[in-house]
Amino acid sequence: MGAGFYRHKGKTGGFCKVGRDEECSSSNRAEHAAACIALEDAIAYASSLRPLILLTDSKCFLMAIQKWIREGIDPSIKASPGGDILREILELLRARIDLGLFTLFVKIKSHRGEFFNEMADRWADKGRHTETKAKWTSLRQRPIFTWTTLGIAHRSTMSKVVKTRAHLMAARLQLR
């Protein structure tokens, strides 16, 4: 998967290839990565002492972040899909807060010709095709389950699909 962001000031952006697809097979991992590299860029960018408005088309990303910025709950980052990336995002947000910098995440519609979303998608495409800018490739010590269905091999971490598959296999063994 590729992740990318577009910075309107300067009309530039950034990208990376996101590793460990089997740990999070949805696009959420790429969305987390895009936010993370945008925050890294905002800290490194020369005028980073300015407010940051980060536009995203990922409602799932915003919901994942929301768990960590309000009071009253105690989520587990280990159980979070893309938790390795989420940890870095939270550290970058903490650094911005410590500097007294305003950061706002805004949900925008995707696939509707929205200029900023289209530009970020172009940068993400560059990330998909690069081998030199790969990030988040190390193992997270989460077991990867492998099974074959109709000759097609599948790999995933523990999920509803894996649990259902395991229950189905156990049921077939018991029926014999």
In the prediction, which pLDDT does 21 show? 55
Instruction: Name 90's Cβ contacts closer than 8 Å, sequence gap at least 6.
Output: 68, 77
Q: What is the arithmetic mean of pLDDT over 27-49? A: 81
The average confidence (pLDDT) of the chain is 79
pLDDT per residue as tens digits for the range 61-81: 888 888 777 665 566 676 666
Where would I find the H helices in the chain? 28-44, 59-69, 83-98, 115-128, 160-175
Q: Considering only 18-22, 130-134, 157-161, 163-167, which range has the smallest mean pLDDT? A: 18-22
For residue 105, which phi and psi values (nearest 5 degrees)? -100, 130
Helices 83-98 and 59-69, axial angle in degrees (round to 10): 60
Domain boundaries, the chain: 2-135, 145-175
pLDDT, greater one: 86 or 127:
86
pLDDT per residue as tens digits for the range 115-144: 888 888 888 888 777 777 777 666 556 677
Residue 162: pLDDT band with limits 50, 70, 90: confident
pLDDT at 84 over 70: yes
In the prediction, which pLDDT does 70 show? 64
Assessment of whether the complete model's pTM goes beyond 0.85: no
What's the CATH fold of domain 2-135?
Nucleotidyltransferase; domain 5 (3.30.420)
In the chain, what percentage of residues exceed pLDDT 70? 80
